[in-house]
């Protein structure tokens, strides 16, 4: 079983990443008559491989129905309300399918997610459990983990107090790589190597949603950064032990002040640049 991580990044993107055990991510897009593409969503799944593939077909079918009736004619992605309707349709079909399986004595060992950005630039992330029920997680907690190591990954994200707004300053690739690297060291079922990655984002200047994948060269660079994060954590822990209780509080105040100054400086530079 693979590990799939989805992170809502800022106000207009969702990053989906999996380890290298098997193909667990599928982008959903359709081609227009002129050859242009509408990038609609990313779906991820873990569990029984046959059920995952069947569930991917259900999800893709619901988006295809919307595409044929609306997207193809108006050359656009779903708005928020339309997206919610698509999710409801997926949920109904999955519930019915998994119920049939249970009645035949087959347990639906599968977990799924659907990530997207709507035509009005709003990131969406839904998780489907083994009953087919959908849960929105794009606002709270702003991320989802499926499969082996999900509990450990959730603990790391909670420790870091991850949220979509904080992610404006963070690299989701470094974070996801860090999580998978850490989990792979204690769980051999999770591969430390990249399986698949997709970023779905809304380009306001172009008024369109785009899906892109991480290149191998980019992955190597981000993996090196993730390794340095580990060294920083160990260094910080050593420093706190050396300082002791009184020195720790003084160091914390100074460090927070430095972080605030750097963040303020970066904000000023970006505003001047724009």
pLDDT tens digit string along 236-250?
888 888 887 778 888
pTM here is 0.90
- Residues of the chain under the 50 pLDDT cut: 274
3-state SS assignment for residue 56: helix
**Which candidate, 201, 206, 134, places its Cα nearest to that of 172?**
201
Q: What is the pLDDT of residue 174?
A: 92
Structure tokens at 205: 């200047």
Task: Give the tens place of pLDDT for each residue, 173-188.
Answer: 999 999 999 998 888 8
Report d(CA 119, CA 166) in Å as an integer.
23
User: Order of strands across the sheet with 134-136?
Assistant: 25-31, 37-47, 110-117, 123-128, 134-136
| H helix or E strand, kind and range, residue 144 | strand 143-147
Model pLDDT, residue 55: 97
CATH class of 3-214: alpha beta
Q: Which two tokens stand for residue 251?
A: 């160091």
The pLDDT score that the predictor gives to residue 271 is 53
SS3 203: strand
Write down the pLDDT at residue 21: 63
The first and second tokens of residue 92, run together, are 């109904």
* pLDDT tens by residue, 207-224: 899 999 888 888 889 889
Structure tokens at 197: 């990655």
**Ranges of each domain in the chain:** 3-214, 217-274
d(CA 72, CA 31): 9
Give the 3-state secondary structure percentages of the chain, helix then strand then coil, rounded to 5. 50, 25, 25
Count Cβ atoms within 10 A of the Cβ of residue 30 and give its class: 0-12 exposed, 13-18 middle, 19 or more buried. middle
* Rounded Cα gap, residues 270 and 144, in angstroms: 30
Is residue 78 a contact partner of residue 118, using CB atoms and an 8 Å limit? yes
């Amino acid at each position: 079983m693979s590990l799939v991580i989805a992170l809502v990044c800022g106000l207009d993107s969702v990053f989906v990443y999996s380890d290298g055990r098997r193909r667990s991510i599928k982008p959903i897009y359709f081609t227009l008559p002129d050859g242009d593409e509408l990038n609609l969503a990313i779906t991820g799944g873990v569990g029984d491989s046959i059920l995952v593939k069947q569930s991917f077909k259900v999800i893709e079918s619901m988006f295809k129905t919307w595409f044929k009736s609306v997207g193809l004619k108006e050359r656009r992605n779903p708005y928020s309300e339309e997206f919610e309707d698509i999710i409801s349709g997926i949920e109904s079909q999955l519930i019915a399918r998994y119920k049939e399986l249970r009645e035949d004595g087959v347990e639906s060992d599968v977990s799924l997610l659907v990530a997207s950005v709507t035509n009005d630039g709003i990131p969406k992330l839904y998780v489907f459990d083994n009953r087919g029920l959908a849960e929105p997680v794009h606002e709270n907690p702003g991320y989802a983990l499926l499969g082996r190591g999900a509990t450990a990954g959730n603990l790391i994200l909670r420790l870091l107090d991850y949220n979509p707004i904080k992610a404006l300053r963070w690299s989701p690739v470094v974070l996801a790589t860090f999580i998978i690297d850490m989990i792979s060291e204690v769980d051999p079922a999770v591969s430390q190597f990249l399986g698949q990655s997709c970023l779905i984002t809304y380009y306001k200047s172009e008024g369109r949603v785009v899906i892109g994948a991480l290149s191998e060269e980019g992955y190597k660079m981000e993996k090196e950064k993730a390794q340095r994060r580990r060294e920083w954590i160990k260094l910080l822990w050593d420093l706190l032990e050396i300082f002791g209780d009184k020195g720790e509080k003084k160091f914390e105040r100074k460090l927070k002040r430095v972080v605030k100054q750097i963040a303020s400086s970066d904000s000023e530079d970006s505003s001047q640049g724009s």
